Amino acid sequence: MRGNVIETVMGAVVLVAAALFLVFAYKTSQLRTVSGYEVSADFARVDGIHQGSDVRISGVKVGTVLAEDLDPKTFLATIRMSVDPAIQLPDDTVAAVTSSGLLGDKYCR
């Protein structure tokens, strides 16, 4: 009987530790959606970009990809992005799709 109590307590400790790890991982990651003003850009190819991808300037996350569509007239991919309102992009800003590493995710910059 005593063995069952110890196993139950150890199981509870493991579950609490796992929950604390998940909370820590979520808080330290940049998995948040940036709400702000909407910007759109046209690209010839958007391989690897999807809803929720990061929008970065100089490696810092400043936005999130909201949607991707295909323009039926020009056959270009249109990406709608939400950019942090604290970041005011100039009118002549150029967007590009880049990779964060050799095997990393793609993002808009």
Q: What is the pTM assigned to this prediction?
A: 0.63
Provide the pLDDT for residue 58.
84
Question: What pLDDT, in 10s, does the model give residues 14-65?
Answer: 999 999 999 888 777 766 666 789 999 998 888 888 888 888 888 888 888 8
User: In sequence order, what are the residues at sequence separation of 6 or more whose Cβ sits closer than 8 angstroms to the Cβ of residue 82?
Assistant: 33, 34, 35, 36, 37, 38, 39, 55, 63, 64, 66
Place of tokens 């820590």: 24
Phi, psi of 2 (to 5 degrees): -65, -35
